[in-house]
Amino acid sequence: MARAVTEKVDLVPKLLELFCNHGIDGVSIRMVGETTGLGKGSIYYFFPSGKSDMVDFVVLSAEQFLNEKLSLLTNNKFNGKKGIEEFLGTFLHDTVFLSYIHFMSSLALSHHRTQYLGKLNLYYKDLTMKLAKVISKGGYSHSKAWNISENVMVSIYGSYLFSCSLADKSYFHNRIKKLNKILLENLKSN
């Protein structure tokens, strides 16, 4: 039976899963081969420098994914409360987004963070900044919108981390729903 041709982009979900489950340092070339079904030669064909190329590629994929998601927030379709509701709903229904959040968070906590500091800062700052723009469309000053957005992001990441430590996905979903309710009740109407 002929083997299907693998594209490099097709490897991202499996690499993401490995890095999220085992950390960057916990993943070996052998594990990548077992998970992807690729031989060592094919792995090095796609990632000549090995694991560092894999991490770079997943970081690039995370950036592209985030930009696609954030374009929904900034396309002027969703403003104020509706934008917040749509944004928070993304975290409830998009497990790939959460996997990237998990990966970037584990990267930020690893000794590899110094290599990726610029990309990590861009990832988190960009997310907070774009959410702040949506909030400011609801009539808030830039600084007030930034403060709200920053608190939302800290709540999301903190809730996700706590949910992981409890091994309870429902905790995260309940916290996001509660955060959405608090925000919708307290933000200006528009």
Domain range list for the chain: 58-186
Identify the pLDDT of residue 90.
76
Span between the terminal Cα atoms of the chain, in Å: 59
Identify the pLDDT of residue 42.
92
Q: Each residue of 35-60: pLDDT tens digit?
A: 999 999 999 999 999 999 999 999 99
Work out the pLDDT band at 187, boundaries 50, 70, 90: confident
Residue that wins the pLDDT comparison between 15 and 100: 15
Identify the pLDDT of residue 115.
87
Identify the pLDDT of residue 2.
37
Task: Count CA atoms closer than 13 A to 61's CA, side-chain side.
Answer: 21
Q: Are 79 and 138 in contact (CB under 8 A)?
A: yes
Mean pLDDT of 136-155: 87
Mean pLDDT of 88-100: 80
C-alpha dist (Å) from residue 92 to 111, 119, 170, 177: 30, 25, 10, 8
CATH 3.60.20.10 fits 58-186, yes or no: no
Place of tokens 């990726």: 116
Most confident among 61-65, 75-79, 181-185 (mean pLDDT): 61-65
CA–chain centroid gap for 89, Å, is 14
pLDDT at residue 104 greater than cutoff 50: yes
Per-chain mean pLDDT for the chain = 84
Q: Which two tokens stand for residue 105?
A: 């968070």
